[in-house]
């Protein structure tokens, strides 16, 4: 593609941002559709977010993705957010509609789209989620849309535990899915819940920098070959959890597919077109 005066600009805003796979994903998609558009990564310091938002509007940037530390902080600067983003109270995608900035969240849906792409029928499935930070919340909020029957959440009993319980109760009130919140320290409960689960999702950062499991070693005995274990971490590609779960016969997935599919949903949010996922995979994998 040749950049000219009609080229539309999209981008990624984070701090840091230079590690991002997003430019490769979206520029591949623009080329596939022969769109006169390009995507760049912008490293924005946390105290410069308001300046960046003004830049998006004044320069006519058509859409952006956001990562840490901006997913919550950008909301006051937006002109509107989708019901899904309102529920999660976080945004990872913004589109510019004639100067109006509209926020969306695609993280949680991206994980479930990836599971479906792996052949999992999610209707009626029981899901256990470890951790309830930003990523965990987006997964919790998206679960009912994909037909999940039960979601069990384990969270450390810290100062935000009660707030999580209240938030999950609000999510459950609008859903047919059953939601339960348990303290991470309740090992007996975790063992029982894991045995009954179809899918285990690690939404913590345990395993990203340390060779550790997100729970006690003997918890692995609660896993079996009928289950899928999903770790939202994608660097390293195989965490200790995935390696050990594989030894127990489980199907395993890392978070790279979640990254891909949340991007596919963002691309559709901006352009109305389906991301050419198979073409993008050739670039990323």
Q: How far is CA 244 from CA 227, 240, 254, in A?
A: 13, 6, 13
Is 58 marked within a binding site? Answer: no
Question: 107 a known binding residue?
Answer: yes
133 is known to lie in a ligand binding site: yes
Which CA distances in Å does 47 have to 15, 56, 59?
A: 11, 16, 20
Does 22 appear as a known binding residue? yes
Flag whether 20 is marked binding.
yes
Q: Is 255 annotated as a binding residue?
A: yes
Just list the catalytic residues.
Answer: 71
92 annotated ligand binder: yes
Please check if 135 is assigned to a binding site: yes
**CA neighbor of 106 nearest in space, from 274, 259, 280:** 259
Residue 206 and residue 180: Cα distance in Å, rounded?
A: 22
**Residue appearing with tokens 């956001």:** 66
Which residue shows structure tokens 């998206």? 142
234 is in an annotated binding site: yes
| Helix axis angle, 277-284 to 256-271, nearest 10° | 130
Residue 99 sits at φ, ψ, to 5 deg, of 95, -10
CA 235 – CA 52 distance, rounded (Å)? 28
Per the annotation, where are the binding residues? 20-22, 67, 92, 107, 131-135, 232, 234, 255, 262
Per the annotation, where are the binding residues for NADP(+)? 131-135, 232, 255
Per the annotation, where are the binding residues for shikimate? 20-22, 67, 92, 107, 234, 262
């Amino acid at each position: 593609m040749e950049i000219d005066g009609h080229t539309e600009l999209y981008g990624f805003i984070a701090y840091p941002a230079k590690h991002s796979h997003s430019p490769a994903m979206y520029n591949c998609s623009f080329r596939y559709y022969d769109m006169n558009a390009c995507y760049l990564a912008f490293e924005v310091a946390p105290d410069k977010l308001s300046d960046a938002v003004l830049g998006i509007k004044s320069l006519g940037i058509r859409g952006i993705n956001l990562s840490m530390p901006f997913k919550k902080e950008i909301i006051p600067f937006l002109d509107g957010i989708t019901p899904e983003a309102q529920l999660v109270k976080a945004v990872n995608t913004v589109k510019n509609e004639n100067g109006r900035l509209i926020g969306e969240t695609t993280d949680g849906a991206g994980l479930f789209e990836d599971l479906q792409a792996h052949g999992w029928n999610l209707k009626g499935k029981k899901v256990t989620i470890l951790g309830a930070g930003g990523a965990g919340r987006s997964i919790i909020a998206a679960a009912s849309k994909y037909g999940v029957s039960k979601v069990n959440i384990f969270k450390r009993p810290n100062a935000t535990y009660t707030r999580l319980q209240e938030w999950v109760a609000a999510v459950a009130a609008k859903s047919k899915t059953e939601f339960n919140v348990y303290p991470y320290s309740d090992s007996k409960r975790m063992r029982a819940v894991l045995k009954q689960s179809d899918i285990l999702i690690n939404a913590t950062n345990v395993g990203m920098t340390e060779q550790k499991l997100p729970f006690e070693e003997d918890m692995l005995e609660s896993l079996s070959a009928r289950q899928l274990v999903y770790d939202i971490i994608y660097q390293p590609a195989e965490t200790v959890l995935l390696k050990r779960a594989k030894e127990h016969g489980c199907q395993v997935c890392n978070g790279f597919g979640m990254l891909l599919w949340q991007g596919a949903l963002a691309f559709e949010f901006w352009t109305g077109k389906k991301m050419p996922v198979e073409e993008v995979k050739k670039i990323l994998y």
